[in-house]
Amino acid sequence: MSRNLFGWFAPKRGEDVLAMAEKHLELTKGAVIEMYSMVDAAAHCDAEKCSTHYISLSRMEMEADELRRQMVDALTKSEMFPEERDDLMEMVRAVDWIADWSKEAGRILNVIHLDKAPQEMRDAALNMAKADADCVAVLEDCLKVISTDPKDAINLANKVELLEEDIDELYSQARQHLANLEFKGWSIGSLILLNEFLDALETVADWCENTADIVRAVSIRPR
């Protein structure tokens, strides 16, 4: 299965590492989905579901971190060429930031009361989180076709970039709500955290785009 996802590497070198890299991507995608579900639960005043999704998000992010550490160790013992190791590690680091920022969004969401925000802000945050989940899903498709169809991989990488631009626009709308709406009962500290929460949602998309940039570089490289 790993050769389908990371098939631009020689098939007999570093297969264990490649399998870990694929699992790492699956965990990252799962973390973003759990983050979206957490935002949905928080926006709809369901504290129990919000907590359950945060536990799952935290577990996936921790497992992804542990896999990344294992890969660093395994790469030092693998028979991959240096260029292959560099490509894989750069990509894994970029994907790992997606999971990290999803966890950061969830961590902040545990502190603020999104359900007490104006409806416009709740909708804006939910739209951003949903767009993040869509973005990472396209990124996964992008990675899967590098070995079989580099041109399609580039097209999907371009789609990731377009989705990231859409999220930038949603981010701008959310910040306008933050500046212009009345947040009754919110302290200054809570509003600062809300702004940081929006930053985290936007940064998830940024790292999807950064990973897509790496895909472009790998896809056009002579084989």
Tokens of 104: 């950061």
User: What pTM did the predictor assign?
Assistant: 0.90
The helix (H) or strand (E) run that includes residue 160 is helix 150-180
Do residues 142 and 160 make contact, with C-beta atoms less than 8 angstroms apart?
A: yes
Average pLDDT in the chain: 88
CA angle 217–220–222, rounded 5-degree value? 115
pLDDT score recorded for residue 4: 45
Residue pLDDT, tens place only, 179-219: 999 999 999 999 999 999 999 999 999 999 999 998 888 77
Residue 21 confidence class, pLDDT cut points 50, 70, 90: confident
Torsion sign, CA atoms 58, 63, 64, 70 = positive
All domains of the chain in start order, with CATH? 14-219 (1.20.58.220)
What whole-number distance in Å separates Cα of residue 183 and Cα of residue 197? 16
pLDDT, tens digit (0-9, with 9 covering 90-100), for 88-117: 788 889 999 999 999 999 999 999 999 999
pLDDT at 154: 93
Q: Between 30 and 8, where is the model more confident?
A: 30
